[in-house]
Amino acid sequence: MSVNEIRFYEPDEPYGFLSNFYPAPIEVDGESWATTEHFYHAQKFTDPELQRRMQIASTPCEAFKLSRELAHFVRGDWIDVRYDIMHFAVMEKFIQNHDLCQLLLETAPATLIENSPCDSYWGCGGKDDGENKLGLILMSVRAQFSVRTRHV
């Protein structure tokens, strides 16, 4: 690991606030979500009842697991929209949780890497050759907030 990179994964570890499992509630369209993970998995479904099941899951891990169990109900365009939905959720997390936004800004200029051994899309994957899409989103959001703070 380089001093120019920050790896994160578990919400209770250093830089865990970057994880979607971190307890940072967001509100979207008048609905409250305990974590961005809850919100993200709910968006896989168009059925309001299935979305509600994700919303009331007791933990982000439960929401993740439940969305896997209900995979046959996932909307047909999910692969096409998942990145934009994640970007939206992450942006809302840092807009609505000012203390976390400040912590995110303090990570600059480090490269942010979701150190997931099993996710090669959102994270770095088991062989460190993943796409790290969550890290890229976080750095994009950080850059957007950095520009905003300079112009305030």
Half-sphere exposure of 36 (CA within 13 A, CB side): 24
Calculate mean pLDDT across residues 48-57.
98
- Residue 143 tokens, joined: 């850059």
CATH number of 5-150: 1.10.357.40
Please state the separation of Cα 39 from the chain's center in Å: 9
User: Is the pLDDT assigned to residue 152 strictly greater than 70?
Assistant: no
pLDDT, tens digit, for every residue of 70-117? 999 999 999 999 999 999 999 999 999 999 999 999 999 999 999 999
pLDDT at 87 (0 to 100): 98
User: Is the pLDDT assigned to residue 69 strictly greater than 50?
Assistant: yes
What is the C-alpha end-to-end distance of the chain, expressed in Å? Answer: 34
Q: φ and ψ at 113, to 5 degrees? A: -130, 120
CA distances for 5 relative to 25, 49, 82, 108, 116, angstroms: 26, 40, 25, 9, 15
Q: Is 114 helix (H, G, I), strand (E, B) or coil?
A: strand
**Is pLDDT larger for residue 135 or for residue 2?**
135
Average pLDDT, the chain: 95
Q: What's the predicted TM-score (pTM) here? A: 0.94
Calculate mean pLDDT across residues 13-39.
98
> Per-residue confidence at 147, pLDDT binned at 50, 70, 90?
confident
Q: Cβ neighbours of residue 115 under 8 Å, at least 6 residues apart? A: 7, 8, 9, 123, 124
User: Is the pLDDT assigned to residue 43 strictly greater than 80?
Assistant: yes
> Per-residue confidence at 1, pLDDT binned at 50, 70, 90?
very low
User: Is the pLDDT assigned to residue 149 strictly greater than 90?
Assistant: no
